[in-house]
């Protein structure tokens, strides 16, 4: 597990506004989401984006992390890390979680595709994917597309091999505080 | 036909308020939608609309006032709208009003995507949260 911890340490080097590691169950998600919505910036348009992006990224961990944990009420939730860093003119959201080999292959194809598309093409891709059958708990397929549409910036991702079966998957996205399109 | 009334909450997960009225055809979903099991929550709503549009067959005013919904909810909204589209195609009278926070600059694009997907007309009604 040392490789996993090294990555987490690297993610935490810069000025951290918020960092959470553990299971992403419903209770954790809704508490964190509310704090984020009202505490990060004084611009309602930016807060709205930050809130949406947080919830999609956190739900991805909850649904898809290869490391699942049961809470006291017996609900299973994915384990991972989420970090929000604040800079002068932007925020960076980063998440990390374990994925299996087969997930890793799909993820890298999907991330490459998302980053290669312009906004209108991405909207169309979302519409196509939304018509496909839903995944576990109704999730799946469009969370990451929505994150990029909401942020208006490409995602950065990395897949670091941990052992024969698993990768540590990191995804990061920048949210501008003073985007000209953001009031 | 029974009405559906669900009181929304904002504790673990965000449950939207639902008020589907079979007497006057007013159907409203409001609040925030981020659920433990999205499909399970929306299944009875879709079933209700299917029943209303085949058995009651009166006009429907469909009102959406969701300030937040996650992407899995966005699928279920599409399912609901598709039922309304089928109803309209078969001669049913449907009005859809979508109220959205004027600070939510992506919502207009979301609603536009639903119009492209379904071919329905949706009235966009911005509101100020303050």
pLDDT digits (tens, 9 = 90+) for A69-114: 988 888 889 999 999 888 888 899 999 999 999 999 999 999 999 9
Are residues A52 and B76, on separate chains, in Cβ contact within 8 Å? Answer: no
Residue B41, pLDDT above cutoff 70: yes
Instruction: Tell me which chain A residues have a C-beta less than 8 angstroms from the C-beta of B76.
Output: 138
**Which pLDDT value is given to residue A6?**
52
Q: Name which of B76, B104, B117 is nearest A138 (Cβ-Cβ).
A: B76
Are residues A130 and B109, on separate chains, in Cβ contact within 8 Å? Answer: no
User: Percent of chain A beyond pLDDT 70?
Assistant: 85
Q: What is the CATH number of the domain that holds A60?
A: 3.30.565
User: Considering the domain boundaries, does residue A182 fall inside one?
Assistant: no
Are residues A131 and B113, on separate chains, in Cβ contact within 8 Å? Answer: no
The domains found in chain B, sorted by start residue, are 4-127 (3.30.750.24)
User: Considering the domain boundaries, does residue A181 fall inside one?
Assistant: no
Chain A interface disruption, residue of B40, B72, B103, most A CBs within 10 A: B72
pLDDT grade for A12, boundaries at 50, 70 and 90 = very low
d(CA A178, CA A176): 6
User: Considering the domain boundaries, does residue A129 fall inside one?
Assistant: yes
User: Percent of chain B beyond pLDDT 70?
Assistant: 98
pLDDT (mean) for A159-164:
96
Residue A146, pLDDT above cutoff 90: yes
| Global pTM value | 0.88
**Which pLDDT value is given to residue B23?**
96
**Which pLDDT value is given to residue A140?**
58
Residues of B numbered 94-113 whose beta carbons fall under 8 angstroms of chain A's beta carbons: which are they?
101, 103-106, 109, 113
Q: Name which of B10, B35, B105 is nearest A182 (Cβ-Cβ).
A: B105
pLDDT grade for A35, boundaries at 50, 70 and 90 = confident
Crossing angle of the two packed helices A143-151 and B71-89, in degrees rounded to 10:
100
User: Considering the domain boundaries, does residue A96 fall inside one?
Assistant: yes
How many domains does chain A contain in total? 1
Instruction: Tell me which chain B residues have a C-beta less than 8 angstroms from the C-beta of A25.
Output: 12
Domain residues for A133? 2-176
Residue A182, pLDDT above cutoff 60: no
Residue A134, pLDDT above cutoff 80: no
Nearest to A62 by CA among A8, A148, A140, A114: A140
Contacts of A120 (CB under 8 A, 6+ apart): none
For the residues of B10-33, what is the DSSP string, one character each? Answer: EESEEEPEEEE-TTT-EEEEEEEE
pLDDT, greater one: B58 or A133: B58
Residue B112, pLDDT above cutoff 70: yes
B71 interfaces chain A, CB cutoff of 8 Å: yes
Q: How does A89-127 read in b/e, with b if 16+ C-beta sit within 10 Å?
A: ebbbbbbbbbbeeebbeebeebbeebeebeeeebbebbb
User: Considering the domain boundaries, does residue A183 fall inside one?
Assistant: no
């Amino acid at each position: 597990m040392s490789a996993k911890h090294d990555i987490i340490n690297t993610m935490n080097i810069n000025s951290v506004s918020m960092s959470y590691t553990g299971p992403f169950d419903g209770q954790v998600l809704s508490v964190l989401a509310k704090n984020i919505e009202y505490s990060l910036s004084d611009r309602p348009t930016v807060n709205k984006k930050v809130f949406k992006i947080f919830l999609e990224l956190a739900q991805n961990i909850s649904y898809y992390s290869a490391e699942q944990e049961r809470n006291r009420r017996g609900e299973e939730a994915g384990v991972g890390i989420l970090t929000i860093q604040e800079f002068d003119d932007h925020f960076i959201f980063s998440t990390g979680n374990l994925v299996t080999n087969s997930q890793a292959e799909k993820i890298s194809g999907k991330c490459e595709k998302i980053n290669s598309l312009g906004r209108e093409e991405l909207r169309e891709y979302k519409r196509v994917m939304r018509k496909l059958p839903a995944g576990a708990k109704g999730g799946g397929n469009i969370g990451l597309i929505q994150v990029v549409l909401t942020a208006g910036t490409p995602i950065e991702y990395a897949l670091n091999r941990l052992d024969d079966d698993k990768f540590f998957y990191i995804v990061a996205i920048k949210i501008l505080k003073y985007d000209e399109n953001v009031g | 036909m029974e009405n559906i009334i669900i009181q929304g909450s904002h504790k673990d997960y965000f449950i939207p308020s639902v008020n589907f009225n079979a007497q006057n055809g007013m159907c409203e979903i409001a609040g925030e939608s981020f659920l433990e099991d999205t499909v399970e929550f929306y299944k009875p709503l879709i079933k209700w609309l299917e029943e209303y549009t085949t058995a009651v067959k009166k006009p429907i005013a469909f009102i959406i006032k969701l300030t937040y919904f996650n992407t899995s909810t966005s699928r279920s909204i599409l399912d609901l709208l598709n039922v309304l589209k089928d109803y309209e195609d078969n001669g049913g009278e449907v009005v859809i009003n979508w109220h959205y926070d004027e600070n939510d600059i992506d919502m207009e694009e979301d609603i536009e995507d639903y119009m492209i997907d379904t071919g329905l007309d949706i009235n966009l009604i911005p509101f100020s949260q303050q």
